[in-house]
Amino acid sequence: MIVIEFSSRQKKIIQIVQENEPITSEQIANMLNLTRATLRPDLAVLTMTGILEARPKVGYFYSGNKESIELLNRIYEIKVGEIKSVPVVVDEKTSVYDAIVSMFLEDVGTVFVISDGYLAGVVSRKDFLKTAIGGTDINKVPVGIIMTRMPNIVTVKPTETVLEAAKKIIEHEVDSLPIVEEKIIDDKEYLKVVGRISKTNITKLFIELANK
């Protein structure tokens, strides 16, 4: 069994909550001279593990839930590649209309865009909505025009843990992440999309582990 090692900042947060509970995220941020946005991933991890308990309009309490820590220990052992979903992928030359159809047929919130077989960009529901209401002819515009391009895309590797992926999803406020494998061709790095991990994947895993 892996033993959880919290970061120095997470340990400091735990100490602050123990000494000042109930305490709000704003108060914790002020005590650490940080922004609430910076603390959000740490608080999410500590709440998810059961170390802290968050009560709306009240603040954070220390709980130190042993069962939740054991659950997180199991999560630490599970790699992203073990729970991945099939990615929804379109070529960058695909029309925005056809990309929207693919997204809804597959019931996902994000479509990954490739160029010559490798990751080139990402398009979300929000991107499609902006394009559609902007008066653009979505049958003629290629999805490559509206996508978020590399290197401004957050990715995960199959060997990263589910917890690491969850932290990235929370920190970057995205629906899902492309799972990629690196390929070096002529000394240049390319990313091959081999899967997808989403909030739904992670939630299903938590429920499955909790019911064991």
pLDDT, tens digit (0-9, with 9 covering 90-100), for 4-50: 567 788 889 989 999 998 999 999 999 999 998 888 888 988 887 77
| E strand spans, 50-94 | 52-55, 59-62, 89-91
Largest CA distance in the chain: 60
Residue 112: both structure tokens together = 């990954």
As a whole-number percent, the residues of the chain with pLDDT over 70 amount to 92
Residue 152 has a pLDDT of 87
Backbone angles phi, psi at 115, to 5 degrees: -135, 120
pTM of the shown model = 0.67
**Common-topology check for domains 8-77 and 81-210:** no
Contact 148, 127 (CB under 8 A): yes
For domain 81-210, give the fold: CBS-domain (3.10.580)
Give domain limits for the chain.
Answer: 8-77, 81-210
Evaluate the CA torsion angle 51, 54, 59, 65 in order and state its sign.
Answer: negative
| Residue 45 main-chain phi, psi, to 5 deg | -65, -45
Q: State residue 2's pLDDT score.
A: 43
The angle subtended at Cα 176 by Cα 171 and Cα 177, nearest 5°, is: 85
Per-residue pLDDT, 3: 46
Instruction: Report pLDDT digits (tens) over 93-142.
Output: 999 999 999 999 999 999 999 999 999 999 999 999 888 887 788 999 99
**pLDDT band with cut points at 50, 70 and 90 for residue 158:** very high
Residue 208 neighbours by CB under 8 Å, 6+ apart: none
Tell me the CATH class for 8-77.
mainly alpha
Segments in 88-124 forming alpha helices (H): 96-106
DSSP per-residue letters across 146-194: TSEETTS---B-TTSBHHHHHHHHHHHT-SEEEEEEEEEETTEEEEEEE
Counting Cα atoms < 13 Å in the Cβ hemisphere of 4 gives: 22
Which pair of structure tokens corresponds to residue 108?
């996902």
Residue 66's pLDDT band, with cuts at 50, 70 and 90, is low
Of the pLDDT bands very low, low, confident and very high (cuts 50, 70, 90), residue 1 is very low
Report the distance separating Cα 46 and Cα 17, nearest Å: 11
Task: Please identify which residue in the block is written with the tokens 């990954």.
Answer: 112
Q: Looking at residue 49, what is its pLDDT?
A: 72
User: How confident is the model at residue 120, as a pLDDT?
Assistant: 95
Higher pLDDT, 144 or 150: 144
What confidence score (pLDDT) does residue 87 get?
93
